Structure 1
C-alpha cells in the first residue's frame, strides 16, 4: 500500500483515526475542496520517500502559492496553479494532505520519527525516537532532503520542561507503537515500522505516515549511538 492505502486502512481504527490528518487522492476537485477547508495542504507522491517530490500549496486572499524545496511561486488563480502541476499529476499518483501548523525550534519546523521493531517474541516495541529539524526555508524535515536529526529532548526543550517533557515523549512513543500495531494487521511479516509524527502548535500529535521499510541511518547521525546500536541489534533478531 502507498500513503493513501495505509491512511484509509488505519482510519478504520478509532484509536488511531483521530491522529490522522485528512488525506485524499490528489484530484482537482479534492484539491479545491481541501484548500477551501484548510487554506493550506501538502501534495505528496503516494509511493515517495525521503521527502522528494513534495509540495506545499497555500491559498491567500488573492494568490495561490506553491512551494517545493526552497523555491516558491505564486499564481493568480487555482486554474493557473493546477495547469503547472498537470503533467506531474498525470505521470505520478499523488495524494493531498491537510497541512499541519508544525511546532518549531529556532523558527524551523520539526517532526518526529518513532522506530518500532519486533522482539524475539514477535511483539512490537519502541526502539528509538528522534527529532528532525527542517533545513532553513525548506518545507520538509527528511534527513535525505537536508533535515537535521536531533535528540527529541533538544527540539522540545523550549516547549516542555522536566517531567512534562519526558512524559510527553513517552506518549509519542506509545502512539508510534499503537499505530504500528494497527498497520501490522495488514503487514503481518513486517519486522520494523518508522512512524512519522508531526506536532502542531497546540502540541497535538498527528501521524503523517508509516514507513514499512524505515531507514535506520538517521539514528546513526546522533552523537550518542545508544539508540542506533539498539535498532541494529533488533534488526538482526530472528523470528
Structure 2
C-alpha cells in the first residue's frame, strides 16, 4: 500500500490556516513574509528574529538574527556575521534567499533541559474512522551553539518525560503541558481538514519558552519518524507505525 497523506510545503500558507482558528492563533509566533519593510518592523519589535525558507525542511538554511550593541548579528549553523545597519543585513539576506521565498518569525527563547535548548514534536494521526489523535510526544534537544534543534542538524531525540525532568519547571508542569499539546495537536488536525483534504498525519514542532508558554514553530505535513529508532525504547516508533498502517506508513 502506497503512503497516502496530503503534503503542503508552504509554511506561509500553513501559518495563515493556523491564524484563522481563534483557539490556535494564540500559539502562533508573529510571522511575516520576508521583505525589507517587514524585516525592519520585526527587528524593531523583537530582540531575535528567525529567517526561514518558506518551503524548507529539516532545519536547513535557517538563519537567526539578533540585535547587538553595535547593530545586528546573523547566525547560520555555527557561522556568525555582524552588520552595523539593517540595510546591510537585508542585502545579505536577500542575496542568500535568491529567488526562493523566505519568512521572518519572532524568535522564541527556548526552555532548556540540562542546559540545552529543546523543542517538542507532537505527532498527530488519523484513525481508520477519521478522528485525529495525538499519538506521540518526543523532544529534539539541540546543541547550545546551533540555530536549529533538528535531528539532521545535530540534535538529539529524547523522550518527553526525560527532557522535562531536566528543566526548571515544577513537577506538575509536564503532565499539564502534555495534555495541552495533545489537545492542540487534535485542534490543528481538524483545522487543516477544513482547508484541504487528504491529511492522515501531521507533526507539530512546538517551542516552550522559558516561562512555559507553548508556541507552534511549524506544522510538518510529512513528518519523519526514523530518528525515534535512536531511542532505546522503540515503543513510540511502533505506536506511530501501528496508527499509520492504514494510510501506508511502514517506516
- Any conservation in 1 of the 2:200–2:247 contact (CA below 8 Å)? no
Could you report, residue by residue, the CA deviation over 1:71-119 in whole angstroms, capped at 9, with x for unpaired residues? 1111111112222222222321100000001101122211000000111
2:196 maps to 1:187 = yes
Residue 127 (1) aligns with residue 135 (2): yes
The answer as to 2:9 corresponding to 1:9 is no
Retained in 2: the 8 A contact 1:100–1:198? yes
List runs of 5+ in structure 1 lacking aligned partners.
none
TM-score (norm: length of structure 1): 0.95
Partner of 2:175: 166
Q: Is the contact between residue 122 and residue 203 of structure 2 (CA under 8 Å) also seen in structure 1?
A: yes
1:205 matched to 2:207? The reply is: no
Q: CA deviation at 1:153?
A: 1.2
- Residue 74 of structure 1 is matched in structure 2 by 82
Cα deviation code 1:11-66 (max 9, x no counterpart): 01100001100111001110000000112100000000000000001112322100
Aligned to 1:26: 34
The structure 2 residue matched to 1:176, chosen from 185, 191, 206, is: 185
Distance (Å, rounded) in 2 between the aligned partners of 1:68 and 1:24: 20
Contact 2:19–2:25 under 8 Å retained in 1 = yes
Whole-Å separation in 1 of the counterparts to 2:68 and 2:123:
37
Does the 8 Å contact 1:180/1:195 carry over to 2? no
- CA displacement, residues 138-168 of structure 1 (integer Å, 9 cap, x when unaligned): 0111111111010111221133354442232
Is contact 2:21-2:191 (8 Å) kept?
yes
Alignment gaps of 5+ in structure 2: 1-7
3-state SS of paired residue (1:66)? strand
Higher RCO, 1 vs 2 (CA within 8 Å, ≥6 residues apart): 2
Contact 2:39 2:90 in 1 (8 A): no
Cα displacement string for residues 120-145 of structure 1 (whole angstroms, at most 9, x for unaligned residues) = 10111111100111123001111111
> Within 2, Cα distance between the matches of 1:100 and 1:41?
8
